[in-house]
Amino acid sequence: MMQISSTLRAALVVLAALVAGLSSAQADSGTVRLTIFKGGWVIGGSAGNGVLNFRGRSYPISAGGIDYGLVFGGSKTTFTGRVSNINRPSDIAGVYGAAGAGLAVGGGARAIVLTNQKGAVLELSGQQVGLMANMDLSGLAITMK
């Protein structure tokens, strides 16, 4: 009887650990709105801010980065999109890297998919306004305010 009780208790502990592990492993998603200002000549920079909407709450975020390559001009891009594979709001924070090329004279559409070191995936699209030509390597760091 005592052996059955300890075996049952051990089985319940293992089952509870498995259930807790499964529930914490399920990643969620949210929506993002970011406004990024970008400018440069060979070396460029970008800065901006926005909002993460996650599980019914809004979290202010900021973004900034550098570009190196063929960079010329200045632009403003307003992105909207989705962030996926996050368990908590702070998972959006991190460094995102990309290589890309583009040209905007007056205005144009822009879309990008980025991943950070925590596995968060940003899928963003938006409108770019300004004069900007680029073929560069860029990095974008997002932080929680």
pLDDT digits (tens, 9 = 90+) for 114-133: 889 999 998 888 888 887 76
> Is pLDDT above 60 for 11?
no
Q: Which of 110, 109, 115, 111 is nearest to 83 (CA)?
A: 115
Residues 6 or more apart whose CB falls under 8 angstroms from that of 98 comprise 112, 114, 137, 138, 139, 140
Q: Which SS3 state, helix, strand or coil, does residue 56 take?
A: coil
pLDDT digits (tens, 9 = 90+) for 30-48: 999 999 998 888 788 889 9
Instruction: Locate the domains of the chain by residue range.
Output: 29-144
> Is pLDDT above 80 for 15?
no
pTM of the predicted model as reported, rounded to 2 decimal places: 0.73
What is the DSSP code (8-state) at residue 119?
Answer: -
Class of domain 29-144: mainly beta
pLDDT digits (tens, 9 = 90+) for 99-108: 555 555 566 7
Can you list the positions of beta strands (E) in 19-118?
28-54, 57-86, 94-115
